Structure formats: C-alpha cells, structure tokens
Structure 1
Amino acid sequence: MTAYPAWTPVTRPGIIPLRPLTFGLVLGRSFSALRQNPRVLLGFAVLVQSVATFLGTTVIVAVSVPAFLRLDTLRPGTPAFDQVLAGSVAMVLAASVLIGLALSALSVLVQGVVVSEVAHAVVAEKLTLRVLWARVKPVAWRLVGYTLLLSLATLVVLGAVVAAVVALVFADVLSGVLLGVGLGLAAIPLVLWLTVKLLLVAPTIILEHATIRGALARSWSLTRGRFWPMLGVVVIISMAFATLGQLVSVPFSLATTAVSTVLTPTGDPETSGFVLLIVGGLLTQAVTVLIQAVSLIVQSTATSLLYIDARMRREGLDQDLLAYVERRDAGVADLPDPYRLHVGRVIAPTPAYAYGYAPSPGYPGSPAYPPYAPYPPAPPAGAAPGWPTGAPAPTGPTGAPAPGVAAPPEGWTAPDGSAPPAEGPAPWARP
C-alpha cells in the first residue's frame, strides 16, 4: 500500500450546473434530456402518442358512425329524428371526453418517465427505459389519479359556466353574450395562475413519492416567489410548439387538397383521389404525432428543471446533489436518493449588508468608529483673539547695576590706525 491517496476520476458534468438556474438556462436546457437519451425518450413518447391517437380515432369512429347511421331510417323534422340526433351527439361527446381522459393518463405516464430521466441526467446518469419505468411504476396510479381528478374538476367547472351562459342567452341574448365574454377574459389570468401553482405536482409525486394532497401543498409552496419565471418558460415553450405544429400540418393539408383537386377536377369520387386523401391524412397525422411527442418531452423537461431549481433555492438541493456526485465518484455504493433527502428543509437566507464586504466567516467584524466631536463655533467676523492680559511680563532682579564694559589697564594706548605695524623678521632669514 502506498501512502499517497488513490486517484479519483474527474466528476462527469450533468445537463445543468449544480447551482440555482437562470431563466435562459432553464429555457435552453429544456432540450438537453432529449439530446442525451433520444432513443429512449423519443421512442417511448412517439409509441405512446401513436397508440393513443390510433385507439382514440378508432373509438370515435366506432361510436359515431353507427350512431349517425340510424338517422337514415328516420324522416328529418320529426320528433323521433330530433331525439335520435340529440342522443347521437351526446354519445359522441361522451366518447370524446372519455378518450380525452385516457389520452391525458397516457401522457402523464410519459411525463413520469421524462421527469425520472431528467433527475438522473442532472447527476450525469443515463438509464434504460426498463430502469426508468421501474422507478415510475410505484407512483404511476397516483399520477393517473391526479390527472383524472384535475381533468374532471376542469370539466365540471367548465360545464357549469357554459350551462349558466347558455341559460342566460336564452333569457337575454345581450346579457348572456356579455357574461360569456367577461367570464372568458377573467378566466385567462385564473387559468395561468393555477397552471403555475400546480406545475410541480407531477415532479413532486415522481421524485418524492408524495401523496396527491402532499404534492399539491409542495407545489404551492415551491412556486411561491417564482411565478413569473415559471410562467414565462411554460408560455414560451407552449407557443413555440403550437406555432411549429401549425407551420408543419397546414402545408401538408393544403398540398393534399391541391393534389386531390388536380386528380379529380370534376369532383367525381375516384380510387386515386381517395388513396391520395388517405395517404395525405396519414402523413399529416404522423408529423403531428411526432411534434406532440417532442413537445411533451421538452415541456416535461422544463417542468423538471423548474422543480429542481425551486428546491435548490429554497432547500439547498444543490448541496445534496454535489455530495451525492462526489460520493458516487469516490466509489461509495448504496447511496440514498438525493431527491428524497431533506424534503421541506428551508435554508437560512444570506444576510444583506449595507455596503462593503461581508466579514469573513468565523471572525468577528471590526467595531464601528465612534462619532466625531463637533467643531467649535467660529469667532465673529472682524474680531481676532488678542493676547492674554492681566499678568505682567517677568522682570529681572533689582538693586544690581547692569554689567558695563571693562576698563583698559593703565599705560595702555590705543594703536594709531595710520601707522603700519612693525615688520618682523622674515620667516626664511637665517638667524
């Protein structure tokens, strides 16, 4: 054994950085899961959408054709004809509602697989469809139940509003129309608000294994303070794919109609015209199914990223994910699911400082300086402070005369300034 630590491989990056995400990052990385695992996600989504579309169309045709064929045996305008017509319309509407609920249930299962894939792609893990379905299977019925409850509640409220408006229209046309327009305009912000507040219910059920009631409460709290960014992501992605669907399906429909008109200019039914219409319809439906599958994957990915970002901001999920990645790359086995740790934890917000740098952790901050003393008031203009008065200047001792100049000695005369001084012997003369 060596004293040096073992080599640890570099941590693999996931589809997002493990930190709170910006609006543009969430919007841009919503396509990352599809690029990372397209065979699993796109294949599963296209398969489910194709089966759902085929079954839905088959059931609608099987119900509507026999129901309306009964009208051929009755005379129009008779009470029996009106009753059969009303019953046929009711049967088709009921079948459409049931098919819509079934399609919603299948779509939420696709969303469950996508959410599970995104949760693992964040920590750089790529799973197979079998493993992903094994993780979604324990909460599959919970997801379906939530979707059915939400759809039924929407139908009940919408049906009550439509019935009230129709009843008012029969009583007073103008009042009914005004009420319908007002309720429609008021429903737009309400629907958008409820869409955002319930946006994170499915990821909460899938990743936390929460109950429907608990997931509703969790979604309500996690979306608090993040309404506008979440609404922006949902609206932009929905509008983008709705526009793309129209841009792709409308040209196919127009081309099919134009070619059919060229082949049958007289309008007589011919075999080639019917075949062309069927082929064109199938191509249009295939492209529509593909766009719907991609849209479902991207929207589910965006919802998953919004859920992860909300938990990073409120509960510090990024720290749990970082710890999971580090321990996994270090070779630790049987790690707990990081998405089910510290659920509901609220991290302390970072304190805001008025200015300057925050004090280093672990060290006390510098004490504040005391306030400065006020300056003395300035003297009035024109008056300068004088010398102190009242104390005399110090004087020397009295009684002793001042010292004078010393007198010269006797016999001394001052030299004459006109006579030059006597010359001494030259310094070089020999003595």
Structure 2
Amino acid sequence: MNDSPGWATPGSSPSDGEGSHGTQPPAPAAQPSGSDPKWSAEQPPPGQWSSPAAGQTPPPAPGQPPAAPQQGWGSYGGQQPQSGGYPAPPGGRGGWNQAQAVKPGVIPLRPLGLGEILDGAVATMRKHWRSVLPITLAVAVVVQLASVLMQKFAFNDVVLDQSSSASVEDQINALGTTVSLSLAEMFIQLVGTIAATAMLTMIFSRAVLGHASSIGGAWRESRSQLPRLFALTVLLGVGTILLVGVLLLPAILTGSVGLGVLGGFVALGLVLWLWIKLSLASPALMLEKATLTKACARSWKLVKGSWWRIFGITFLTNLITGFVAGIIVLPLTFLGAALFGGGLEGFADGTGTTSWGFLILTGIGGIIGLTITMPMQSGVTVLLYVDQRIRREALDLELARAAGIENYGTGTTAPPTGG
C-alpha cells in the first residue's frame, strides 16, 4: 500500500473519459437544474487516493465480511459497482445531494465554491499552524536574510558609473556583478519557495482527510519529488522567457514600436493562458508522483473547460495575498525610510535604502508577509486540484474511503464534519 498521503499515478487518465477494463461507462443520468455540468455522473475510475497509514484497511460496509488488504483503494467505500462498472454519485443518480456532503477535513467532499476553497486554505493554516507556519517562517527568514545581506554588502558596493571617464570594461564588470548577485538572490528564493511548496502540498492533502502532518513527515513525503518540482519551475520560467523573446524579436530587429506593443500584448495573453493551463501541474506532480510530462498533461486536462473559473479564483487569491502583504510591508518600509533613510529624499535617490535600520524593518515586513501569504497561495492551488478531480473523476469517493467514512455514496451516509 502506498505510504504517500496523496494520489498514486492514475495510469490512463480518467480525464480521457475511458472506462476501466476496456468497457464503456453507462450513459450519464440527466442532471438536475442548477447542478454543475462538469460533475461526472459516470463516476470514472478513481485516481487512487492513498491510504493515510500503510497497512490500514478501510472499515467494511454493514453486513459485509472484512476486506483483505489491497494495493490502493480499489473500490468505492464499500459500495459495489453497478452493472456498467460505476457506482452512482453521492446523493443518488440525479447528482449531488448538498445536505449529504460529508466533511472529514477542511473541505466538504463535493464540488467546491470560491468561498469554500478560500476557507479551506485559511482553515488549514489555522488548524495545522504548528506545521504550516514553521515551514513558511523558516523559508521567509532565509529569503529575507539573503536579500538584506545582498543589499547591504553586495549591491551597495556595485556602482554603475555613468560618467565618460569610466571605461567600458569597468561598466561591463559592474553590470556583470549586479546580474550575478541578482541571480544568486533569485536562486535562494527559488529553492526556498520550492521546498515550502512541496511540504505544504503534503500538509494540505492530509488536511483534506482531517489528518495532521508533522514537519518531518511532510519533508519525508515530499523530498523524492523535489528535483522534479525544481525542474518544472525552472522549465516554466525558461519557457516564459523564450516565448516572450520570440514574440518581441521582430520588433527588436525592425525597431518598430507598434510591432513591439502588438508582440507584447500577444506574449502577455499567451503567457497568462499557458500559466493557468499548467497551474495544477505542481500538485499533480507531488500528489500523483508523476513525471514532468505527465504532470503537465494532467494539469492541461483538468483545466480544460474550466479555464476562466480557475483564472478567476487564482487572480482573486493573488489579489488578496498581494493586498495583505502590502498592508504589512509598505508601512514598515515608509517607517524605515522616515527613521533611518533620510526621509523621502533618501528613499528616492537610494542613499537611505542601505542603512541597517531600513533594511531590518523592511526585512521584518517581508518575513511576516511571506509567512502569511505563501501557505494561502499553495493551499488554494492544492484545493483547486482536488476540486477539479472531484468534478471530473469522482475523487470524493476515494477521499471518503481514505478518511474511513462508511457507506459513502449510498445516500445513507451521515454528514459528519471534522478537522
């Protein structure tokens, strides 16, 4: 049995709409008015949400003999498949019964709304803060410490001399040093963010089932996928740069401003579209233990038909986290400039931005902002992934079984809540 708290690789993707054992699923029942058309009435094979504890078998259905240990969750919470190979969705063939939605963890096991996704991310931060906050706090401290030291001891000594007396070689060397230091700082931030994202993904996946995770457990469960997550992040970044460069190249070669504006708008649209299409690749890679190619393909299929919805939720999340970070960082930045940076004049000309007082205050603001906003963004991404799989692949059946909920999907399940 898989020890991972997440999903095993789904094999032939349930998003493809193919049934198991080469059989075609029965025709979906008519959906009631107001139900989500993307909710799968066919109930395709699950993506094998893994057991939260190795060797633990789910409780048998009433009147049934105990099940033998098996690899993964092969059936649907004790419910026997119908003649076509798929059980009915929770609440009956007509669709989802909202009143019967169980909530073993931070979200109910049904298609989620915007408020439920945001609330699930905040609830995880609140209920499992002993695991979440130390991770993000440690990463934020390392990132901000590197930034402060770079600004104080490195960037302060690098000056691009604009006078005619400075040789071209000196200016190139200064520019090269600045670029090298910037890349070093970005690398530190990248590594810290990737490590935090990987561990937070595991914590949120367990929180969906109502189970807590330790920091050490989250690290052990995520470290095997860290090289792939790093490669995925770098690949997306390099791909974005190459795409923008190709679209702006004609304007650079011809010196046309109009062509540059057109190329910029096209590049912005394509980058945004691809960013959303691949936004679920990170949780797919971590929770399904997938390769880079399979993770990107999974994200592409899960986002299909829901691009605008995922874009809206992602944009709103970034807007909220940006606002929260702003109200924390900006006051401390202006306070540091007023007390230690020579006021607005020193802040404007850059002479006051290298004093210890200014750097420490802005660093504290950055630490607080990252500690709060990083888990919020990671949590929304993971819950969007779970929501899309519930809508398309009936993942709620696997989640209910992994959470130990009996008779889920039979219409007789009590709606317990947990945390």
After TM superposition, the score normalised by the length of structure 2 is 0.65
- Kindly tell me: are residues 266 and 183 of structure 1, through their superposed partners in 2, closer, same or farther at Cα, counting changes over 3 Å? closer
2:362 counterpart residue number: 284
Contact 2:137 2:367 in 1 (8 A): yes
From 146, 155, 171, the counterpart of 1:55: 146
In the alignment, structure 1 residue 29 sits paired with structure 2 residue 111: no
Per-residue deviation, residues 356-409 of structure 1 (Å, max 9, x unmatched)? xxxxxxxxxxxxxxxxxxxxxxxxxxxxxxxxxxxxxxxxxxxxxxxxxxxxxx
Q: How far apart, in 1, do the equivalents of 2:114 and 2:240 lie?
A: 30
Per-residue deviation, residues 138-182 of structure 1 (Å, max 9, x unmatched)? 11111111112222222333455566545544xxxxx22x22322
In the alignment, structure 1 residue 39 sits paired with structure 2 residue 126: no
- Kindly tell me: are residues 31 and 77 of structure 1, through their superposed partners in 2, closer, same or farther at Cα, counting changes over 3 Å? same
Q: How far apart, in 2, do the equivalents of 1:47 and 1:260 lie?
A: 27
2:85 counterpart residue number: none
Residue type at the aligned position of 2:392: R
1:206 counterpart residue number: 286
Contact 2:278 2:296 in 1 (8 A): yes
Contact 2:202 2:287 in 1 (8 A): yes
Q: CA deviation at 1:222?
A: 0.8
Query: 238-247 or 289-298: which moved more?
Result: 238-247
In the alignment, structure 1 residue 139 sits paired with structure 2 residue 225: yes
Q: CA deviation at 1:63?
A: 5.0
In the alignment, structure 1 residue 81 sits paired with structure 2 residue 161: no
From 275, 290, 312, the counterpart of 1:195: 275
In the alignment, structure 1 residue 233 sits paired with structure 2 residue 233: no
1:302 counterpart residue number: 380
Q: CA deviation at 1:39?
A: 2.2
1:103 counterpart residue number: 189
Task: After the TM superposition, list the runs of 4 or more consecutive aligned residues in structure 1 that deviate by more than 6 angstroms.
Answer: 263-267, 273-276
1:247 counterpart residue number: 327
1:156 counterpart residue number: 242
Q: How does 1:293-372 map to 2 (within 5 A)?
A: 293-326=371-404
SS, match of residue 21 in structure 1: coil
Per-residue deviation, residues 334-368 of structure 1 (Å, max 9, x unmatched)? xxxxxxxxxxxxxxxxxxxxxxxxxxxxxxxxxxx
Contact 1:256 1:276 in 2 (8 A): no
Larger radius of gyration: 1
Residue type at the aligned position of 2:393: E
Contact 1:222 1:310 in 2 (8 A): yes
- Kindly tell me: are residues 166 and 140 of structure 1, through their superposed partners in 2, closer, same or farther at Cα, counting changes over 3 Å? same
From 298, 313, 316, the counterpart of 1:218: 298
- Kindly tell me: are residues 259 and 66 of structure 1, through their superposed partners in 2, closer, same or farther at Cα, counting changes over 3 Å? closer
- Kindly tell me: are residues 157 and 275 of structure 1, through their superposed partners in 2, closer, same or farther at Cα, counting changes over 3 Å? closer
Per-residue deviation, residues 192-225 of structure 1 (Å, max 9, x unmatched)? 2112111111101111100001101111001111
- Kindly tell me: are residues 183 and 101 of structure 1, through their superposed partners in 2, closer, same or farther at Cα, counting changes over 3 Å? farther
Per-residue deviation, residues 225-258 of structure 1 (Å, max 9, x unmatched)? 1112211111011112222333332222333333
Q: How far apart, in 1, do the equivalents of 2:191 and 2:318 lie?
A: 19
In the alignment, structure 1 residue 17 sits paired with structure 2 residue 95: no
Bigger RCO of structures 1 and 2 (CA < 8 A, at least 6 apart) = 2
Q: How far apart, in 2, do the equivalents of 1:266 and 1:233 lie?
A: 40
From 254, 257, 261, the counterpart of 1:181: 261
Q: How far apart, in 1, do the equivalents of 2:344 and 2:221 lie?
A: 57
SS, match of residue 326 in structure 1: coil
From 99, 112, 115, the counterpart of 2:201: 115
Percent identity reads 25
Per-residue deviation, residues 278-300 of structure 1 (Å, max 9, x unmatched)? 22431222122221232111011
Residue type at the aligned position of 1:38: W
Q: CA deviation at 1:23?
A: 2.5
- Kindly tell me: are residues 59 and 265 of structure 1, through their superposed partners in 2, closer, same or farther at Cα, counting changes over 3 Å? closer
Residue type at the aligned position of 2:200: V
Q: How many residues align?
A: 304
Contact 1:64 1:88 in 2 (8 A): no
Q: CA deviation at 1:76?
A: 3.9
After TM superposition, the score normalised by the length of structure 1 is 0.63
Q: CA deviation at 1:326?
A: 2.2
SS, match of residue 199 in structure 1: coil
- Kindly tell me: are residues 18 and 324 of structure 1, through their superposed partners in 2, closer, same or farther at Cα, counting changes over 3 Å? same
Contact 2:203 2:213 in 1 (8 A): yes
Q: How far apart, in 2, do the equivalents of 1:114 and 1:31 lie?
A: 13
Q: How far apart, in 1, do the equivalents of 2:265 and 2:301 lie?
A: 27
SS, match of residue 53 in structure 1: helix
In the alignment, structure 1 residue 126 sits paired with structure 2 residue 212: yes
Q: CA RMSD in A?
A: 3.3
Q: Which runs of 5+ in 2 are unaligned?
A: 1-61, 64-101, 408-419
Q: How far apart, in 2, do the equivalents of 1:265 and 1:146 lie?
A: 41
- Kindly tell me: are residues 102 and 150 of structure 1, through their superposed partners in 2, closer, same or farther at Cα, counting changes over 3 Å? farther
Q: How far apart, in 2, do the equivalents of 1:97 and 1:284 lie?
A: 21
Q: CA deviation at 1:112?
A: 1.1
Contact 2:145 2:363 in 1 (8 A): no
Q: CA deviation at 1:98?
A: 4.1
Q: How far apart, in 2, do the equivalents of 1:266 and 1:319 lie?
A: 62
Q: CA deviation at 1:83?
A: 2.3
Q: How far apart, in 2, do the equivalents of 1:109 and 1:264 lie?
A: 38
